[in-house]
Amino acid sequence: MTHRFGLLTPSSNTTQEPEFFAALPSDVTLHTGRVAYRDITPAEQDRCVLELESESRKLADAEVDCLVFAATAPTLAKGKGYDRELIRRMEDAAGRPATTAATAFVEALTLLGAKRVSIGAPWSKTMDAPMVAFMQASGFEVVHSEVVGFVASIELGRADPEGAYELGLRTDRPEADAIIMPGGNWRCMGVVERLEQKLGKPVICNNAVSLWAGLRLLKRRDSIAGHGVLLREHLRGEDT
């Protein structure tokens, strides 16, 4: 059965569409809406959700089977429960099941049994504080966080994936059960497998976890290799 995957992405994002398209099973097609978002700042987070309903309705016109707002920072900007509020807005507008990147991180870590996490993020310290607070409020212990300092989203999309790999290595702590790497315009999916092999623990990046969450809404049972344990082993059986 062919499925239609609805992606809501920031307007400045140049990474999600190619990464999602490359990883999706051949019988799942990708359909994208864009919300206005140029810089990785609190003001832009507030601006981008103003278009949530209009873009969700447009994707509904394509009769997508799910919607994923695949941006971490905007979907946790106002603390625990904000992601659920955004999901309700998307579902009310589109009449389709929906989720967010922030929701997906919590669900994935819960499924994996991870209690303690290290966060490696591309953005600034200002943007890091809400992420740490959200994870802690969601029941996880944040043992460490690292940031790179990107503000212009378009520049993040041009960054070498090797920088993400190196950040993942710096972020790890022995007591961390998993590494999480938010940032939807960051080309991380291609280095997750290497990081997991090197560190011996799950590495959950924004685009892989958002893809995983959407496929779970579709009740898919695929095994998608090359992007870490989550997509390879946790779209099957009772995990769906």
The yes/no answer on whether domain 3-103+208-239 falls in CATH 3.40.50.12500 is yes
Q: Give the Cβ contact number of residue 129 at 10 Å.
A: 11
- Per residue in 47-106, pLDDT (tens digit) is 889 999 999 999 999 999 999 999 999 999 999 999 999 999 999 999 999 999 999 999
Q: Which fold has domain 104-205?
A: Rossmann fold (3.40.50)
For the chain, residues classed under CATH 3.40.50.1860 are: 104-205
Q: Write out the E strands in the chain.
A: 3-10, 28-35, 66-69, 98-100, 116-121, 141-147, 178-181, 203-205
Rounded-to-integer distance, Cα 206 and Cα 229, Å: 14
Rounded-to-integer distance, Cα 150 and Cα 160, Å: 13
Q: What is the largest CA-CA distance in the chain?
A: 48
Query: If we measure between CA atoms, which residue out of 59, 107, 136 comes closest to residue 211?
Result: 107
- Per residue in 155-201, pLDDT (tens digit) is 888 889 999 999 999 999 999 999 999 999 999 999 999 999 999 99
For the chain, residues classed under CATH 3.40.50.12500 are: 3-103+208-239
DSSP code at position 152: B
Residue 236 has pLDDT above 70, yes or no: no
Tell me the whole-structure pTM to 2 decimals: 0.95
SS3 175: coil
What are the beta bridge partners of residue 178? 117
Rounded-to-integer distance, Cα 50 and Cα 81, Å: 18
DSSP code at position 79: -
What are the beta bridge partners of residue 68? 7, 99
